[in-house]
Amino acid sequence: MNRKYRKTVIAGNWKMNQLASTVKPFMEELKAAMPKTRACDMVLCTPAVMVPAMIKAGKDCKVAAGAQDVSKYEKGAYTGEVSAGQLADIGAKYCIVGHSERRQYHGEDDMLVNAKAKALLDKGIIPIICVGESLEQREMDLTMEYVAYQVKAALSGIDATSCAAASSPTSPSGPSAPARPPPPSRRRRSARASAPSSARSTAPVPPVLSASSTAAA
């Protein structure tokens, strides 16, 4: 595949860290460390309440603002949820769906991830669809098969070229993880191979990101 047909995206996930008041000083430090020119899109996904601050602070260094989750519902009595329309209204350009922590701690499945991705696309927001195996599946050498299944389920009825995918295994990072986990490049190949054939032609294909976690400072 010729790289010129594939957009490169670098996305960061702040998880439940930072404050709206710390976004500006953080972005000032980031801007000072960034190259003057780059051939990629950069995204920082923050808690929804910080998206406006990220948009304002990220303009000078051309970093797009993204959210970390969305409701599949457009509106209604769903206390604590945030809709795709509400995210679009505050200016979010990207949004993570199906993150390993949402799957692991909140029981989110591939059907829900698919519904959330569709809700985002309907409002013009690019979904970053997370896929990845559990520790048990990795130990059983089922990583590639499971990732392929997740990709097909998440992209059901969706134009894959309108999304990004992220490799985000649910197994822990650190001393308790297997000594030799499958390389992220294998997950990316599996994700691309499982996308609809139209997304693997000479048309632009969805970028596939690798995920890693670090402890909050």
Q: Which domain holds residue 160?
A: 3-210
Sequential pLDDT tens for the chain (217 residues):
444 556 688 899 999 999 999 999 999 999 888 887 777 888 999 999 999 999 999 888 889 999 999 999 999 999 999 999 999 999 999 999 999 899 989 999 999 999 999 999 999 999 999 988 777 878 888 788 888 888 999 999 999 888 988 887 775 544 444 444 445 554 444 444 445 554 444 444 456 665 555 555 5
Residue 217 falls within a domain, yes or no?
A: no
At 74 the pLDDT is 97
> Per the structure, how many domains does the chain have?
1
- Give one DSSP letter per residue of 113-162, joined into a string: HHHHHHHHHHTTPEEEEEE---HHHHHTT-HHHHHHHHHHHHTTTS-GGG
* 166-186: b (≥16 Cβ within 10 Å) or e: bbbbbbeeeeeeeeebbebee
Contact criterion met (CB below 8 Å) for 94 and 43 = yes
Q: CA 210, CA 165: separation in Å to the nearest integer?
A: 9
Determine how many CB atoms are found less than 10 A away from the CB of residue 49.
12
Residue 44 included in any domain: yes
Can you tell me the distance from the alpha carbon of 133 to that of 145, in angstroms, rounded to the nearest whole number? Answer: 9
pLDDT (0 to 100) of residue 174: 43
Place of tokens 């896929």: 131
| pLDDT attached to residue 210 | 56
What is residue 145's predicted lDDT score, i.e. its pLDDT? Answer: 85
Strands in 41-45's sheet, in edge-to-edge order, are 9-13, 41-45, 63-67, 94-97, 126-131, 164-167, 208-210
Structure tokens at 7: 């957009």
Is residue 52 included in any domain, yes or no?
yes
Q: What is the CATH number of the domain that holds 185?
A: 3.20.20.70
In a domain, 215, yes or no: no
The answer to whether residue 51 sits within a structural domain is: yes
The terminus-to-terminus CA distance of the chain in angstroms comes to 39
In a domain, 102, yes or no: yes
pLDDT value of position 179 = 40
- pTM reported for the whole predicted model: 0.80
In a domain, 216, yes or no: no
Contacts of 80 (CB under 8 A, 6+ apart): none
DSSP3 helix / strand / coil % (the chain, rounded to 5): 40, 15, 45
CA gap 25, 184 in Å, rounded: 32
Q: Residue 166 falls within a domain, yes or no?
A: yes
